[in-house]
Structure 1
């Protein structure tokens, strides 16, 4: 990966006045006086492909085990280049999957992975799209591969989450992405279509230890949030009302507790990234509210919680194009910081906490040397 190595610590000072605003039972600060010194550093990744690469999602089960997925080629050649890498506590290595060996032997019906989720080092799920949709499951010894839609190439999957006794998936039932679907997998029952809705669903979160599922995306009127509640083996689905935000789109969701759910994304024309405004919504158990932010432009593409339960988001800020935007919510206020300079503009960044530590992983993609090429990056905090 041809990305300059950065120092482990980069000191940032951001002068922003504090504005504390009560929002739906929370005290939300719109900014901080000074950002804490950044502790993000570049970590060498695995060799994913011969012609550029990108990472789209990351998950960790502990300090010695993490997974990142994406594709191992540039956008212009984004065919049959699925990529998955694993952290073994010392380094990132390409994770061999059935028929996905580099540089030859790609499976012709799978172009890239879009999401990964892990309950443990022996229970990892990844989803990918191409001519067909593929779902992969790692049991600690080998991969099993599934086609939830058979050989129907008009459908796609966007995210995967592991819940209580089931694995959940969001996706689309058509090529234009305006017919959202939620699937579940429960072993012997295979894949079940649970819910459909007009619009798109980009991500989901299964609240730990419960039968509650949250899925987010967008529809013609703005943000789309769907809630599923399992009782007696059946799931009741309903759309959860959000504030009226025209052109609002949600990319990630995180369910911390019954009265603490977060969703992030952006506001703006999806075909004009330069004019996006970052968007954060919070659910307090009764209603969703828009949360004030210290950054005026950009988009948020990652969301996680650290070991102390503090919310972290990652994304793109056009005022710092070659650095990943990070914002942390602690004690009623947001702290803004930026990762090390990556040499080229950041296009996407997602984030995951590392269980059993105070650390975090962030992965994504930056622009390559030409318009149609990209490069992946991996950052570590703490």
Structure 2
């Protein structure tokens, strides 16, 4: 067996029970979840898929229905029967809210909800996935419909768009997208930019092709398809301004889903650096009052009734790259929003027990971390999943989680204090070790714990890859 070396050099600092901890390095980033996050009382019906915040006491969540946060608890909104789950939620304000299901929509005018059916002329089966207001009297819903239905599962999916004209929905003509004959395609997200304009995203699939990104621009009269520069399925689109638009989703590489995103600055689309979060895709974007852009990634093709299977992260766009942030302990995050006029964040998804949940993080808790592992160095052939534990501010404990854990005093683990609050922890895998050899562990999730004096435990999560 080839020898592998893992060395870590960390400048440590005093920890407190409310401190968020972040360690960064080229190739490895840690973030401590639960630091400052508070679970919002009550339970949405099913995992939150979308969030809209009007203020801290008026937040809406799409959870296959619509739930409302009133500052104290979540309660179900009295939606009319839509014949399907709510798949999209959007608003111009607290008195102008749209909720769309696959078969029908509902609008809230400040006094109550009213059902509006789609125009289904000539379409056997139709499913709307997202909605966006375009103006005070116009809105757009996007999804797909099927043609040539004879038996369940027959036919191909074709992009569908419905336009609201102030009194009802009408079908809009989607241009030829230049896809191969027989390809399936669906529109999965839409965001209005004002003046009846919108960006629409989706994906297309055929034969063994894993997905071709669909990015369309609607100027109020006509359509234009934009090439984003990578193969992907795009699900998330958020327009903060006409010259500040984010889209995201996932690509499939070597059989694994990875998150991808791109940004529009009013002139061109620029793909962002790929994020190492396997089996995951961008699900939602938001921007705080201070201008920080954040996003959540999660299991992309999740059935709401089954357990989460992918990785989830809370990311911030800083220094032209995505950086992991402290997040609540959860099995999956699907949505994020910022309370208008503040840096307070709301996220929704599943908790650590796989139950529906939502959390809030006040702006005062989002402070700079007390220390960073800028001196961290790693050298190895393939990589290992591992854990490390800090006790107080003056001791560290190192544990390898590859196969059998080494016992206390294992000679393969060298743990020494180099200086005050500076440690070197080295693990050498020797021939004959009981720790199994692991191949191709690049980009695996790293888990660690910090035990604080109170006591309180924070869990650290990160991803590492081979360096150099």
Shorter-normalised TM-score: what interval? 0.5 to 0.7
- The structural deviation recorded for 1:109 is 4.2
Give the TM-score normalised by structure 2: 0.55
Residues 1:218 and 1:258: Cα distance change in structure 2 (over 3 Å): farther
Q: Note if contact 1:265-1:280 (Cα within 8 Å) is conserved in structure 2.
A: yes
Q: 1:269 to 1:213 in 2, by over 3 A?
A: closer
- Whether the aligned pair in 1 keeps the contact of 2:297 and 2:313 (CA below 8 Å) is yes
Q: Distance in 2 between matches of 1:171 and 1:269?
A: 13
Deviation digits for residues 190-238 of structure 1 (CA, Å, limit 9, x no counterpart):
1101124212211111122x4122111112352101112223xxxx122
The aligned residue for residue 58 of structure 1 is 89
Aligned to 1:75: none
Give me the whole-angstrom Cα distance separating, in 1, the residues matched to 2:124 and 2:21: 50
57, 65, 69: which one pairs with 2:100? 69
- Aligned partner of residue 325 in structure 1, secondary structure: strand
Other structure's SS at 1:198 match: coil
Q: Following the alignment from structure 1 to structure 2, what is the Cα–Cα distance between the partners of residues 229 and 21?
A: 32
Alignment partner of 1:220 is 2:252: yes
Change (3 A) 1:29 1:332: farther
Query: Contact 2:199 / 2:215 at 8 angstroms: preserved in 1?
Result: yes
1:187 paired residue number: 220
Higher RCO, 1 vs 2 (CA within 8 Å, ≥6 residues apart): 2
Structure with greater Cα Rg: 2
Any unmatched runs of 5+ in structure 2?
A: 1-16, 25-30, 42-71, 147-157, 367-468
Displacement after TM superposition at 1:308 (Å) = 3.5
Please give the root-mean-square deviation of Cα atoms over the aligned residues, in Å: 3.2
Pairwise mapping of residues 81-230 of structure 1 onto structure 2 (< 5 A)?
Answer: 82-99=103-120, 108-131=123-146, 132-149=158-175, 154-163=184-193, 166-175=197-206, 178-188=211-221, 190-196=222-228, 197-208=230-241, 210-220=242-252, 222-230=258-266
> Aligned in 2, Cα 1:136/1:36: closer, same or farther, shift over 3 Å?
closer
Question: Per-residue displacement from partner, 1:112-171 (whole Å, max 9, x unpaired)?
Answer: 110011144413111021223211222323434213145976211110011255310111
Shift of 1:293: 1.5
Count residues in correspondence.
289
**CA deviation profile, 1:285-329 (whole Å, cap 9, x unmatched):** 53210112121x4222222222343221221236153xx311222
TM-score (norm 1): 0.66
Q: Which SS does the other structure have where 1:183 is aligned?
A: strand
Alignment of 1:159-308 (within 5 A): 159-163=189-193, 166-175=197-206, 178-188=211-221, 190-196=222-228, 197-208=230-241, 210-220=242-252, 222-231=258-267, 236-256=268-288, 259-266=291-298, 273-284=307-318, 286-295=320-329, 297-308=330-341
